[in-house]
Amino acid sequence: MTNHTSQSMLDHMNTSQITIRPEYPDDELALIRLAALDSADAPPTRPLLLAEVDGELRAALSLRDGGSIADPFHPTLAVLELLHAHARRTVAPRRRPLARSTRAVARGMRIGRRTPAWSR
């Protein structure tokens, strides 16, 4: 999709109120309905970021695997792009904590001495 096409879709929606928010437990029925409209077996993998246009759920994006669903009866490509952009800006990548033995070895290397075997 070109930026021009995306911008024209956003211009078309400029009078609509778009809300981007995390999912809540009471969104379950709306997500099931949206998945059915999109011919998906189920909503995407949780946690989800949702987009509402004028208070109606139009799209959902999985923050875990990037899967998405959208209402096929409304122009939602620009809304999905907004969801992706919001996710990129707000979700920090998860860093796996280092194992205790790895930290001990790294600490020993940093100060230039061998780490005792019992601390590994």
Question: Which tens digits make up the pLDDT trace of 63-116?
Answer: 999 999 999 999 999 999 999 999 999 876 655 555 555 555 555 555 555 555
Task: Please state the domain extents for the chain.
Answer: 3-90
Place of tokens 């790895």: 102
Q: Are 62 and 44 in contact (CB under 8 A)?
A: yes
Given this model, what pLDDT does residue 113 score? 56
Given this model, what pLDDT does residue 15 score? 72
Q: Choose among 25, 99, 119, 33: nearest CA to 71.
A: 33
Which pLDDT tens digit goes with each residue over 6-27? 555 556 556 789 999 999 999 9
pTM here? 0.66
Q: Distance between CA 36 and CA 30 in Å, rounded?
A: 10
Over the range 47-65, which residues count as b (16 or more CB within 10 Å of their CB) and which as e?
A: ebbbbbbeeebbbbbbbee
Q: Distance between CA 42 and CA 34 in Å, rounded?
A: 9
